[in-house]
């Protein structure tokens, strides 16, 4: 684990009687690993428990989790985990939390819990799942929970109003306001107005699209564009989208029927999630449209449509392997059309660009959001956020789910509605916010960091190891072996310098050898005979020469042997 929170406000005081405390353990200042801890009268409630795929500049890391170590000795006080929806950045860390306490109740919608059950089954966990739906109200411990329908890029997303003591908090989860959603399930604006009439002390709202003006187009607008792209394609179509975007897959299947194509699902998560959605009645598959990959390979290319994972350029996804000619069965052909029907998650621009370039190099036509309306975001832009604030009329506002630029843009939207600056909480991960008598304030910070999953190891890797990996990956490695006869005061072997990832020119390091012999022998003559001290001199000498000559800083591993 590595720390990221600087203790600017100091440790928080004890929680005052009747107060409500909340602290984000992940998900603020970043897109991913969303998790917020609520505390009242000695009891805890968690909203979301997500993960981040790796982390920027963290080589070898598989997943990054929220950091709940501050509450490690209080997990028995958690009354429930409330899930707003089924995306991995909101449910992906659950297996790791439940390893520590398997009986925590998990509350969520039907699809969310089905995805959670499939995930936890892989970890051999049997959770306590409690299904709710929009319009319902339930209690767990002191927490009175009310759920509201919201639109997002996955069905069954929920916002949750939390009533405890004398406080009411609304957490929107990820949301938008689609006026003509494919499933007819509208964001519950009347419910938000009614809640606002009752009084909302604090609003926590999705900030991802706060920089985007206006309102989001409807999902229905995408369907016709997708069908037009498929109609015009002469060869095979490969559509890449999120494995959880049931509505997008539904649109693609409808277009496949209209264009007389057979569809195949590619990618384990895509197959699993669509099977779950189909069983729940959320995905309607026309008869005869779905075929397996082997059957699709035998059909004329103009009759084939593949629906694949990999829209974010994930290295092991089906689309990335196709772009790199590494997929076991699917080879990209010049008459293929690739449709990237998703938006870019911040931080994935480079990897997605590499996939697009790889597909283009193989001759395929690539259609993406920059060239056609093949995706609409699942997050509310500025116009919808302003509408939400005016509907709820909260006393205090806390932007969540976003990077700093999104959070500050969201704060500006709140100010534009007349909310005073002091009532807007910009509270990054680890910042403790207390709600007392309807007023929110920052009262301190707790230590939180990034918890890395590296293979089977969880939390065993930190900044030092990642720094070494970055140096090895970017600068290379030099080992220097020197044998010294201390009594004679001379170097009897070496320096033997071995380079890895630094240069292919074996003679590039020759100029430093003579200088290194001279410096080591002078050091011995001056009385430096300890091998560790001599190794330090070797490291410093080689490091300075490499930096001066090549402007690089490889990892240096000196070894001095006394003979």
pLDDT tens, residue by residue, 5-56: 444 578 999 999 999 999 999 999 888 899 999 999 999 999 999 998 655 5
Residue 469 has pLDDT above 80, yes or no: no
Ranges for all domains in the chain classified under CATH 3.60.15.10 = 2-214+377-463
The bridge status of strand 337-340 relative to strand 237-240 is parallel
User: To the nearest whole number, what is the mean pLDDT of the chain?
Assistant: 88
| pLDDT at residue number 276 | 96
Ranges for all domains in the chain classified under CATH 3.10.20.580 = 475-562
Residue 56 near residue 347 (C-beta atoms within 8 A): yes
The bridge status of strand 128-131 relative to strand 477-485 is unpaired
pLDDT tens, residue by residue, 267-292: 889 999 999 999 999 999 999 999 99
Q: Which residue has the higher pLDDT, 437 or 520?
A: 437
Residue 268 near residue 302 (C-beta atoms within 8 A): no
pLDDT band at 3 (very low <50, low <70, confident <90, very high): very low
**Of 149, 369, 139, 331, whose CA–CA distance to 240 is shortest?**
369
Ranges for all domains in the chain classified under CATH 3.40.50.10710 = 219-367
Alpha helix (H) ranges present in 417-507? 463-474
Fold of 2-214+377-463: Metallo-beta-lactamase; Chain A (3.60.15)
**Torsion angle of C-alpha atoms 217, 223, 224, 226, degrees rounded to 10:** 110
Find tokens 């928080």 and name the residue.
12
How confident is the model over 137-163, as a mean pLDDT?
Answer: 97
pLDDT band at 99 (very low <50, low <70, confident <90, very high): very high
| CA–CA distance, 209 with 216 (Å, rounded to integer) | 10
Alpha helix (H) ranges present in 282-348? 293-297, 318-323
Find tokens 């209690």 and name the residue.
139
| pLDDT at residue number 220 | 87
Q: What percent of the chain has pLDDT over 90?
A: 59
The single-letter DSSP state of residue 419 is: -
Residue 227 has pLDDT above 60, yes or no: yes
pLDDT tens, residue by residue, 339-351: 988 776 666 677 7
How confident is the model over 487-508, as a mean pLDDT?
Answer: 78
Q: Which two tokens stand for residue 258?
A: 């209209």
How far is the first Cα of the chain from the last one, in angstroms, to the nearest whole number?
A: 42
| CA–CA distance, 52 with 332 (Å, rounded to integer) | 30
Fold of 475-562: Ubiquitin-like (UB roll) (3.10.20)
Q: Which two tokens stand for residue 505?
A: 């020119």
pLDDT band at 352 (very low <50, low <70, confident <90, very high): confident
Q: What is the phi/psi pair of residue 97, to 5°? A: -70, -40
| pLDDT at residue number 6 | 44
pLDDT tens, residue by residue, 551-562: 878 888 888 888
| CA–CA distance, 52 with 271 (Å, rounded to integer) | 22
Residue 532 has pLDDT above 50, yes or no: yes
Q: Which residue has the higher pLDDT, 540 or 150?
A: 150
Residue 54 near residue 454 (C-beta atoms within 8 A): no
Q: Which two tokens stand for residue 128?
A: 């306590």
Helix (H), strand (E) at residue 251 = helix 246-258
Fold of 219-367: Rossmann fold (3.40.50)
Q: How far is C-alpha 331 from the geometric centre of its chain's CA atoms? A: 29
């Amino acid at each position: 684990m590595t720390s990221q929170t600087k203790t600017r406000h100091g440790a928080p005081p004890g929680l005052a009687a009747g107060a409500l405390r909340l602290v984000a353990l992940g998900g603020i200042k970043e897109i991913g690993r969303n998790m917020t801890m609520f505390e009242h009268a000695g009891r805890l409630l968690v909203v979301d428990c997500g993960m981040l795929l790796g982390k920027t500049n963290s080589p070898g890391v598989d997943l990054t989790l929220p950091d709940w170590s501050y509450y490690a000795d209080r997990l028995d006080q958690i009354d429930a985990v409330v899930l707003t929806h089924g995306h991995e950045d909101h449910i992906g860390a659950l297996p790791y939390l439940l390893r520590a306490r398997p009986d925590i109740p998990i509350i969520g919608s039907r699809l969310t819990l089905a995805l959670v059950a499939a995930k936890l089954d892989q970890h051999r966990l049997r959770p306590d799942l409690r299904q709710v739906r929009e319009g319902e109200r339930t209690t767990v411990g002191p927490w009175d929970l009310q759920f509201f329908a919201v639109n997002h890029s996955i069905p069954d997303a929920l916002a949750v109003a939390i009533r405890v003591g004398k406080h009411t908090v609304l957490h929107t989860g990820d949301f938008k306001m689609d006026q003509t959603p494919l499933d007819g399930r509208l964001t519950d604006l009347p419910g938000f107005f009614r809640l606002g009439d009752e009084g909302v002390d604090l609003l926590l709202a999705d900030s991802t699209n706060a920089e985007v003006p206006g309102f989001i187009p409807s999902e229905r607008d995408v369907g016709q564009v997708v069908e037009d792209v498929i109609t015009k394609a002469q060869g095979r179509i490969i559509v890449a989208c999120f494995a959880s975007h049931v509505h997008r897959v539904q649109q693609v299947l409808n277009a496949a029927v209209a264009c007389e194509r057979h569809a195949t699902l590619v990618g384990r998560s895509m197959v699993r999630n669509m099977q779950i959605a189909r069983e729940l009645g959320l995905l309607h598959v026309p008869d005869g449209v779905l075929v397996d990959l082997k059957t699709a390979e035998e059909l004329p290319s103009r009759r084939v449509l593949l629906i694949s994972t990999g829209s974010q350029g994930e290295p092991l996804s089906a689309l990335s392997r196709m772009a790199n000619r590494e997929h076991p069965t699917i080879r990209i052909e010049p008459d293929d059309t690739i449709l990237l029907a998703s938006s870019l998650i911040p931080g994935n621009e480079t990897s997605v660009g590499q996939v697009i370039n790889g597909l283009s190099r193989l001759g395929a036509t690539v259609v993406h959001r920059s060239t056609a309306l093949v995706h609409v975001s699942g997050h509310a832009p500025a116009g919808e956020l302003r509408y939400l604030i005016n509907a709820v009329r909260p006393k205090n506002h806390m932007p969540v789910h976003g990077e700093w630029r999104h959070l500050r843009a969201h704060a500006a939207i709140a100010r534009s509605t007349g909310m005073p600056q002091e009532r807007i909480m910009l509270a990054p991960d680890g910042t403790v916010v207390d709600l007392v008598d309807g007023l929110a304030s920052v009262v301190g910070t707790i230590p939180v960091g990034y918890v890395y999953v590296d293979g089977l190891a969880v939390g065993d890797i930190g900044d030092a190891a990642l720094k070494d990996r970055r140096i090895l990956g970017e600068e290379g490695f030099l080992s220097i072996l020197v044998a010294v006869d201390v009594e004679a005061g001379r170097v009897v072997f070496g320096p033997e310098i071995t380079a890895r990832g630094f240069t292919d020119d074996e003679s590039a390091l020759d100029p430093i050898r003579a200088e290194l012999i001279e410096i080591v022998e002078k050091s011995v003559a001056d009385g430096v005979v300890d091998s560790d001290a001599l190794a330090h001199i070797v490291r410093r000498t080689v490091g300075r020469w490499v930096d001066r000559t090549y402007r690089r800083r490889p990892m240096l591993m000196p070894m001095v042997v006394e003979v």
